[in-house]
Amino acid sequence: MSNKLQARPGLWTSSLLYSGPGSGKTTYSVSSFWDWKNGCPVLLPDGKEAKGRLISFGREYNPALAVPDKYQMLGDMSLRFRSPSLDDMSWVNDFRSVVNGLLMKAREGDCLDALVIDGMSEFDLLYEMVHDNKFGGEDKFAKWNDLMSELLAIMQRLDPDELGCHVFVTARVMEKKQAKKSRNVTIAGDPAYVDYDYYPSLRGGFRLHFPHYFNMVLYMETKQLMVAAGDFAGKRLPAHVLHMVRTGDFYVKNVWEYPWLKAREPLELVNVGFWDVYNRLVDLTKGGTEQAELPEAADFVEEEYVEGGSTE
């Protein structure tokens, strides 16, 4: 992976990466400003170091990336927001102040190049626990209403156009909620329009709104793949796979899906960094790439297999 970009983008992206543990979502996001393989900053076309910040919640932290402290601080404030006592909401207020400060700086022309918010699932769980301990549970709806309001406000602040930078958010993965019956009580599951089995993990009603705020919602997983050449040839090693287009039970959103497919770009990318993906997107806008003939409406079928082979 090169740590130098092709060009300063004209469109800021907003990416939600979700997966199980250790699949590479933080690594992918941080690669927007920190070249962790070579232990150096990503360089912009003018030779300047990319300006980035890594914000994390609770126990979300990956020391193996060796992200320097300067990327996890804003002034004198640490960007690792925690509440180990589980009874203090000050971390929420501090996070709010940090993002508001970044918005104010952006309006003055002082923008980051990338902002990474690592662990919205952890934010959710930590918020719930602290809320219960601090305010009690007499009003069973208060926690969920407060959480909904807080998450909505966060998504409004994390507007890449307002911040003038690429925005990355990571989350864990959850399974579609099924309706449950217990004696005379029925607990509703996800609505019928949820036609996928797995999606980014948030509790409460906001989980269904969450993907709307991003132009890319990408699922990551670790696969054991055979190495074809080099020191590990013939051995199976873990590979971090980024799904660029939805092809199965995991939700994927890519607003550039049509040109991506038209240019015959891979449905999955292995061990890839953000700027590798971004540079592909830049190439799509330039034209001149090989153009695939995409299926028309009449070409689609419901069956898994069609004459001549698999639909996959």
CA diameter of the chain: 67
What's residue 204's pLDDT?
Answer: 85
What's residue 310's pLDDT?
Answer: 47
Strands 114-118 and 166-175: parallel
Q: Which residues contact 52 (CB under 8 A, 6 or more apart)?
A: 30, 32, 33, 34, 42, 71, 112, 113, 114, 115, 116
From residue 42, how far is each of 31, 55, 155 by CA, in Å?
8, 18, 26
DSSP H or E run through 218: strand 216-226
Of 139, 74, 130, 128, the residue nearest 104 (C-alpha) = 74
Q: What is the pTM of this model?
A: 0.90
Two tokens, residue 273: 């960094």
What's residue 6's pLDDT?
Answer: 43
What's residue 1's pLDDT?
Answer: 42
What's residue 112's pLDDT?
Answer: 97
CA distance 277 to 301: 30
Q: Are 3 and 42 in contact (CB under 8 A)?
A: yes
Report how far apart the first and last C-alpha atoms of the chain are (Å, whole number).
29
**Helices and strands (DSSP H and E) totals, the chain:** 7, 18
CA distance 276 to 1: 7
CA distance 209 to 150: 13
What's residue 205's pLDDT?
Answer: 85
Rg (CA), the chain: 21
What's residue 10's pLDDT?
Answer: 62
Two tokens, residue 229: 């050449």
Note the Cα 105 to chain centre separation in Å: 24
CB atoms within 10 A of CB 216: 20
Q: Which residues contact 100 (CB under 8 A, 6 or more apart)?
A: 157
Residues of the chain with pLDDT under 50: 1-9, 305-306, 310-312
CA distance 52 to 118: 13
CA distance 20 to 34: 22
Of 21, 59, 34, 62, the residue nearest 240 (C-alpha) = 21
What's residue 296's pLDDT?
Answer: 79
User: Interior CA angle at 304 toward 302 and 305, to 5°?
Assistant: 110
What's residue 25's pLDDT?
Answer: 97
From residue 197, how far is each of 201, 208, 249 by CA, in Å?
12, 13, 5
What's residue 303's pLDDT?
Answer: 61
CA distance 205 to 154: 15
What's residue 288's pLDDT?
Answer: 58
Two tokens, residue 108: 């003055």
Residue found by looking up tokens 């993002």 in the block: 99
